[in-house]
Structure 1
């Protein structure tokens, strides 16, 4: 899957990984890039960096109507969508005792249901045209959990499960699906405000911190190979294999790891 000459939508694109992907897709020759984010000023700034092939849209991906509206805008202004990158995500840094019902609901809406809304909005048109591609940012947390943040771990795992379901049911209809599963990346999620959280300490102890631009390169490579799992951090694949090979041993090891950080 190559982005050249394709219309691409990127959500959560005002900063971090989303911004890096939007800029890289434009550099790769995308026909148009829709930059979507709740941060309207940030989205406009990224679109301005790209130039005339870009369009900024303020959207709340946790709202089905907003996702349908941004898809309509992209197809009306830029053309049929070839790649939809459902990238927006949020963390809480809270465990079982601290996470409120509102945090659980909001995290589920942004980290999981947003992928559902995107698929509902773009798949009918993609299937009718004979093909298309979904890239969902799901995080390593969706595969190997997330110390300290229960809502994040659960909703990212659900996002991967949904992507698997779409891949199974729509592959024969010409739809490709990839899940982006990075570990530590220098974004707002790892800002100074959260560095003391257990989640941030676990991420920093688990492997290298990548720049968003590094992740964007892995995305290009992963899409080119049409791999379902895109691992910017190769160690995540190893963690995942250990988990599958001996779940009890893996759980015990993760428990010891978390205890060592507290």
Structure 2
């Protein structure tokens, strides 16, 4: 998809990958950008920095009525939605001990928010015979998020849902991509490192930590080629092959990494990446 003159909605648009997508879409010539976030004021600040084509709104992606209202308002204002980026996500930093409320929130934000968005935007996209769904799913959805059971499980579900959408609707003109980065210099990773969460330490030790702008550039390149899997960290494809070909060996390697990290003191968060 060429983003010139496109209308896009981006959830989780107040920072991190969402804000970077907004900046990149604007640079690509988008016609209008709606940045939605639970923190509406922060989304508005990002929109102001992006320029007059963008505006920020408050949105709880776990509330389907709010998602439907946002889609309807955007379609009334601009006539259509060409791209919907379901980008909001949450991590827990915990395992089976995470309480039911934590599991439910991960399920609501990381999976059901994608379902709500698809339900809301698909009718008009199918009627027009075109549209694009970009789902931020994480490499955790292809591999595993060591140290964060709810994140790992829900990101696998997010990839599965995106694949189902692609298989079901591509022949009707709707393209779907699953954006699956590994380590990204966002508050989610920084907070996890500061708290000493094992999962964040594994991510930081497993490869380069990209800036959000690098991830956004990879997303735009992948969308231009209409690829289903967009991997800002190309090595994730190799990891996935190794995992599929030798699951026992793959798990053994991860356990060795975990043992090494547990035997060493947690390091401070890395410096912020330069965009």
TM-score bin, normalised by smaller chain: over 0.9
Deviates more, 1:110-119 or 1:44-53: 44-53
Tell me whether 1:143 sits opposite 2:122 in the alignment.
Answer: no
Q: Secondary structure at the match of 1:118?
A: helix
Q: Which residue of 1 aligns with 2:259?
A: 259
Aligned equivalent of 2:77: 77
d(CA) in 1 for partners of 2:82 and 2:192?
37
- Equivalent-residue separation in structure 1 for 2:25 and 2:65 (angstroms): 26
Look up the SS of the partner of 1:81 in the other structure.
coil
- Distance in structure 2 (CA, Å) of the matches to 1:17 and 1:52: 20
User: Normalising to structure 1: TM-score of the pair?
Assistant: 0.97
Match of 1:31 in 2: 31
Deviation of 1:252 (Å): 2.2
TM-score between the two structures when normalised by the length of structure 2: 0.92
2-structure distance, mates of 1:21, 1:193: 23
- Secondary structure of 1:8's match? strand
Deviation, structure 1 residue 192 = 4.6
Greater Cα offset, 241-250 or 170-179: 241-250
Q: Does 1:232 align with 2:252?
A: no
Deviation at 1:73, TM superposition (A): 1.6
SS in 1 for 2:224: helix
Cα 1:172–1:87, aligned 2, differ >3 Å: closer, same or farther? same
Counterpart CA distance in 2 for 1:40 and 1:132 is 26
For the 8 Å contact 2:193–2:201, the answer to whether it is kept is: no
Alignment gaps of 5+ in structure 1: none
Work out the CA distance in 2 between the residues paired with 1:46 and 1:78.
Answer: 20
Task: Map Cα deviations across residues 114-172 of structure 1 (whole Å, 9 max, x no partner).
Answer: 11001000011000001101000000011110010000000000000000101111111
Gaps of 5+ in 2: 263-275
Paired residues for 1:1-262 under 5 Å: 1-97=1-97, 99-192=98-191, 194-195=193-194, 196-262=196-262
Hey, which bits of structure 1, 4+ residues long, moved more than 3 A?
192-195
Give distance in 2, aligned partners of 1:113 and 1:130: 24
Count residues with an aligned counterpart: 261
C-alpha distance in 1 between matches for 2:99 and 2:79: 41
Q: Report if the CA contact (8 A) 2:89-2:110 is conserved.
A: yes
**In angstroms, what is the RMSD of aligned CA positions?**
1.1
Q: Is the contact made by 2:192 and 2:200 (CA closer than 8 Å) also made in structure 1?
A: no
